């Protein structure tokens, strides 16, 4: 089976849904953010602060290429879709699943989160802008799953049943 790439905005539930989906499908799960932190030996926050976003994006691009492309679930960083090269790579090598979530629910989910450097300081206005800029990129996925007001189990069940359709 081709790799499953979970994409979506910060807080969409990629890491949380990915873990559960991995249990159900019995596939290993690799998170690009966690992989980069481990390779570089710094937290994402520290990489942004010390090396800047551009360097982080280069790490992200390299990570995608190095990670397995079969029998794996890859949960991606929220900004992985910014680079066209990444979008193409994921579409070509795997099944891309976009986890959509309405902004107001994302605001609630991330309200107390201090681990996402792009959300430091101002939050809602910046998030709305980023969200709108990225939406067309996320929508290039093979499938879109709305996670708004849904439980993790419900979302995972939905994904599993879609993966059984002949298209995949």
Ligand X SMILES: O=C(O)C1=C[C@@H](O)[C@@H](O)[C@H](O)C1
Q: What is the DSSP letter of 81?
A: G
Task: List contacts with Mg ion (CB under 5 A).
Answer: 14-15
Contacts of 126 (CB under 8 A, 6+ apart): 118, 119
Binding partner of 86, given ligand ATP, ligand X, Mg ion, none, CB within 5-8 angstroms per partner class: none
By the 8 A CB rule, do 133 and 40 touch? no
Contacts of 105 (CB under 8 A, 6+ apart): 148, 149
d(CA 133, CA 135): 6
Is 2 among the residues that bind ligand X (CB under 6 A)? no
Q: Is 12 annotated as a binding residue?
A: yes
Q: Is 14 annotated as a binding residue?
A: yes
Is 147 among the residues that bind ligand ATP (CB under 6 A)? yes
Residues numbered 28-57 forming contacts with ligand X, rule: CB under 6 A: 33, 44
Q: Is 108 annotated as a binding residue?
A: no
- Binding site members for ATP: 11-16, 116, 150
Contact residues: ligand ATP, CB under 6 A: 8, 10-16, 33, 77-78, 109, 116, 147, 150, 152, 155
């Amino acid at each position: 089976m081709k790799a499953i790439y979970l994409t979506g905005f910060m807080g969409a539930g990629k890491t949380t849904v990915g873990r559960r989906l991995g249990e159900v499908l019995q596939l290993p799960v690799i998170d690009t953010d966690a992989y980069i932190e481990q390779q570089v030996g710094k937290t994402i926050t520290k990489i942004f602060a010390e090396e800047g976003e551009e360097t982080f994006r280069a790490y992200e691009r390299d990570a995608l290429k190095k990670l397995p492309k079969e029998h794996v679930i890859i949960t991606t960083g929220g900004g992985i879709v910014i680079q066209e090269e990444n979008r193409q790579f994921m579409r070509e090598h795997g099944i891309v699943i976009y986890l959509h979530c309405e902004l107001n629910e994302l605001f609630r989910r991330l309200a107390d989160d201090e681990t996402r450097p792009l959300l430091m300081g101002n939050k809602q206005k910046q998030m709305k802008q980023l969200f709108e800029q990225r939406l067309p990129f996320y929508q290039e996925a093979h499938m879109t799953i709305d996670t708004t007001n849904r439980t993790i189990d419900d979302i995972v069940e939905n994904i599993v049943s879609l993966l059984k359709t002949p298209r995949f």
